[in-house]
């Protein structure tokens, strides 16, 4: 699995992860409930902002490379034939510095409005135990989406 993230408002210009791992389905009930977990181990590289750019100049950045692990837990519950509740929790561990971990929590409710369209409302919390200096540790997002099913 390869992952790329960019979030200048959280102080990082890029994060790249290359991981390998496996997963297990704990519960799978007649298209109504699905509970699963995944664990992976790999390499991560970050390009973090240390100081903002002075007018006409480049920002000061710090590059970090480390061995990492990712643990993901998912729960998907089909409430009706057209409505679904889902939760995903992800823990990112820096195995070089165990206090430098991140936790993402994502909860969503989606409702189909036709065979190919759905409305989705979601709430996401992104926590970083050791945020980039000068940035807050927690970001909260409330999202509304129109999902096209293909």
* Residue, of 50 and 148, whose pLDDT is higher: 148
How far, in Å, are 22, 51, 60 from residue 57 at the CA level?
Answer: 44, 11, 9
- Average pLDDT of the chain? 90
pLDDT, residue 46, reads 87
The rounded distance, in Å, linking the Cα atoms of 88 and 123 is 11
Kindly report the pTM of this predicted structure.
0.83
pLDDT at 51 over 70: no
Whose CA is closest to 93, among 103, 85, 83?
103
**Contact between 92 and 70 (Cβ < 8 Å):** yes
| Backbone dihedral region for residue 30 (phi beyond 0: left; psi -120 to 50: alpha; all else: beta) | left
Output the six-digit token pair for 131. Answer: 């945020």
Of 108, 90, 104, nearest to 137 by C-alpha is 104
Q: What is the pLDDT of residues 73-120, one digit of tens each?
A: 999 999 999 999 999 999 999 999 999 899 999 999 999 999 999 999
Task: Write the CA distances from 132 to 5, 80, 114, 138, integer angstroms.
Answer: 15, 42, 43, 11
The percentage of residues in the chain with a pLDDT greater than 70, rounded to a whole number, is 94
Number of C-beta neighbours around residue 98 at 10 A: 9
Mean pLDDT of 43-59: 74
Q: Which residue has the higher pLDDT, 60 or 102?
A: 102
Q: What is the pLDDT of residues 15-41, one digit of tens each?
A: 899 999 999 999 999 889 999 999 999
Nearest to 124 by CA among 75, 73, 83, 90: 90
Higher pLDDT, 133 or 46: 46
């Amino acid at each position: 699995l390869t992952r790329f993230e960019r979030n200048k408002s959280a102080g990082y210009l890029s994060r790249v992860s290359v991981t390998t791992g496996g997963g297990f389905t704990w519960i799978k009930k007649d298209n109504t409930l699905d509970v699963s977990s995944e664990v992976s181990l790999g390499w991560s590289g970050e390009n973090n902002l240390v100081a903002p750019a002075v007018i006409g100049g480049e920002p000061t950045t710090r590059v970090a490379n480390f061995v990492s692990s990712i643990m993901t837990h998912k729960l998907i519950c089909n409430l009706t034939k057209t409505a679904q509740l889902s939760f995903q929790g992800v823990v990112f561990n820096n195995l070089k510095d165990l206090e430098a971990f991140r936790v993402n929590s994502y909860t969503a409710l989606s409702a189909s409005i036709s065979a190919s369209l759905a409305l989705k409302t979601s709430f996401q919390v992104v926590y970083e135990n050791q945020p980039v200096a000068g940035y807050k540790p927690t970001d909260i997002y409330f999202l509304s989406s129109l999902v096209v099913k293909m």
